[in-house]
Structure 1
């Protein structure tokens, strides 16, 4: 099991002593990359099972009425949790439509396109596979790849700001939205390590292989 990020030795400290997200990213990447293959595979299954329970719970709550709910997922890159087996399974759920992100404009909110296991995929702006010739969709549930997180729902991503812009734009519409971070448990940060920026969008919960971290304010 990979170790968690430790407090007390911040690099490039902000005022008040907390390290910047840029300083934490290399540490978070290294801890995640150190996970043994078997542990990673087991963690992926656990994360998918917990996500499925949380999604079903949300669907049963009726917040989106009787229409099909758009679930925006992500294609794994590097050492991210691999949800592709779960996506194939969820694609058969008549209550859901699945979508994947597309970078159509650099430094802008993501777009999302319908995805099924039969959808043609091709590398996009950052060499991440994206759906081709698929219609756009507006998400109701967004699964957010998360490198590091706090118990308050604050997230450290990869520094591009795409998901912060996307969540801000989606929340500004007033539509019901559920934002679920997806992370290995080793990405959890102690409370004194990370101070979010004003533009950082908090998550409604973070689903990890150790359980669901749900901020008490949510």
Structure 2
């Protein structure tokens, strides 16, 4: 089986697991993420606006915004890294690419911490995304300039032991789920 076929099969299984976890979710799913971010107050960070069945980081982002700048990703073009628009809990939003909401008045910022959405993760820090490579390109670019902390945020049900990864896949420094914090070795 080719790498692309293995990735497609892994995504299909992970989407099904995430859909079930989303349906069964309890309140307070971002509690552990808030605890982690509290140790980095004031550091520029970026989250994401949850789409479909993604775990929602909004509560943790709103808390972090009280202490420092928080951005959300903006897709400008296929094959390009993401940019991050400054976000505040009450800012005016509009539809962006792929159905994700973005601030209507985009003032851009550069995060030092990224809360990264994903389809599947491994305890070793592997991440399987949607396949567009946006976060891999973005993390590679940011990490070339300075240390950048990548925190994968997912339901625990999205864990897979054998992810099909490529050399260009950027590792996660930490994975936060609704039940635990995982620090890859």
Same fold, judged at TM 0.5 (above): yes
Q: Distance in 1 between matches of 2:22 and 2:56?
A: 14
1:30-179 matches, within 5 Å, as 30-35=16-21, 37=23, 39-42=24-27, 45-46=28-29, 48-59=30-41, 68-93=42-67, 96-173=68-145, 175-179=146-150
TM-score normalised to structure 1 length: 0.79
Q: Distance in 1 between matches of 2:164 and 2:55?
A: 25
Call closer, same or farther: CA 1:35–1:213 in 2, change over 3 Å.
same
Q: Distance in 1 between matches of 2:156 and 2:5?
A: 20
Q: Is structure 2 residue 181 aligned with structure 1 residue 209?
A: no
Q: Give the match for residue 183 of structure 1.
A: 154
- Give secondary structure in 1 for the equivalent of 2:98: coil
Call closer, same or farther: CA 1:50–1:36 in 2, change over 3 Å.
closer
TM-score normalised to structure 2 length: 0.92
Unaligned runs of 5+ in 2: none
Q: Give the match for residue 7 of structure 1.
A: none
Unaligned runs of 5+ in 1: 1-12, 60-67
Call closer, same or farther: CA 1:91–1:58 in 2, change over 3 Å.
closer
**How many aligned residue pairs are there?**
185
1:196 to 165, 173, 176: 165
Instruction: Give the CA deviation at 1:23.
Output: 1.6
Instruction: Give the CA deviation at 1:82.
Output: 1.5
Call closer, same or farther: CA 1:104–1:19 in 2, change over 3 Å.
closer
Taking only aligned residues, the RMSD between alpha carbons, in angstroms, comes to 1.9
Q: Distance in 2 between matches of 1:108 and 1:56?
A: 31
Q: Distance in 1 between matches of 2:26 and 2:95?
A: 24
